[in-house]
Amino acid sequence: MADIFVHHTSHGRHAYLGAVSFVDDHLARLLEILRVTGRLENTVVVLTSDHGMSPFPEILAAKTGHGGRLWEGDVAHQAEQSLEARNGMAFGIEFESGLFYANVGAMKARRVNVDSVANAIVAESMKGPGVRIGFTARTLPTSQDSGAVRWRRTLPPQLGWLAVLVADDGFIWSGRTVAAEHGTPTADALSIPIAFMGPGITPARYDRTVRSVDIAPTLAKLLGITPSEPLDGVPIDEVLVKK
């Protein structure tokens, strides 16, 4: 057996140690079952994660003097209260992890200027430290900012939303005082490891950007299978290098 390890970043994630130990124990049991049943030498194992996680900002702030927790729920509340007072109905404006969402259809039906509300929310949110940039439904589609690109890939078409924000380095979206967070399109949250292990795979480690969608075409090439339709990813060449 040999293994190859491809990682998105070179810096560690100490907060993962407990979870990694748990997975390691269960993986050992699975591999032992495969070994005992004679299937291990014909098995390729791929390990990855559904998401990464931002480190505790308090640790970074103590080291660099830069970082913290951000929450813009008060901005959403003020916008909701103002519109409800003027229109006599609620529009469900809420904030969650960098995203302001609302019943945009109802706002348009009451002839609320959605663009004006969205612009005001972004402007208000950027008054304090920690918010690097914000986007509305008009500005997000054309921006080449890395945060905009990630948000475009995250938002489902049917979702009604007003604005999205991108946190500055060292800041995370969190309404809690002690917790690591995930679930937003930041580099940390999107950074995941990918490990391949199996016969014919040369042991090595590579720190470069690959994508989770690259797993399927890599396995297809290892198996000598031609996909029946176009795939989003591409084979990871390092995995295919033979001894």
- In terms of domains, do 93 and 46 share one? no
Please list the alpha-helical segments (H only) found in the chain: 17-36, 57-64, 73-87, 104-109, 114-125, 146-154, 187-190, 215-223, 237-240
Q: Average pLDDT, stretch 94-119?
A: 96
Residue scoring higher pLDDT (22 or 112): 112
**Is residue 183 a part of any domain in this protein?**
no
Q: Return all residues near 151 (Cβ < 8 A) that are at least 6 apart.
A: 135, 140, 164, 166, 185
Query: How far is residue 131 from each of residues 35, 56, 75, 165, measured CA to CA in Å?
Result: 51, 17, 13, 7
Specify the CATH number for the domain of residue 90: 3.30.1360.150
- In terms of domains, do 142 and 232 share one? no
**Residue 7: which pLDDT band, with cuts at 50, 70 and 90?**
very low
124 is in which domain, residue-wise? Answer: 68-173
- Any idea which of 38-47, 101-110, 153-162, 171-180 has the lowest mean pLDDT? 171-180
- The Cβ-side half-sphere exposure at 210, using a 13 Å CA radius, reads 26
- In terms of domains, do 166 and 215 share one? no
Tokens describing residue 223? 């198996």
**How high is the pLDDT of residue 20?**
77
Query: Taking 80 as the threshold, does the pLDDT of residue 198 lie above it?
Result: yes
What DSSP state is assigned to residue 198?
A: E
**Is residue 55 a part of any domain in this protein?**
no
**Length in residues, the chain:** 243
Which residue's structure tokens are 């308090």? 58
Residue scoring higher pLDDT (206 or 63): 206
Query: Taking 90 as the threshold, does the pLDDT of residue 11 lie above it?
Result: no
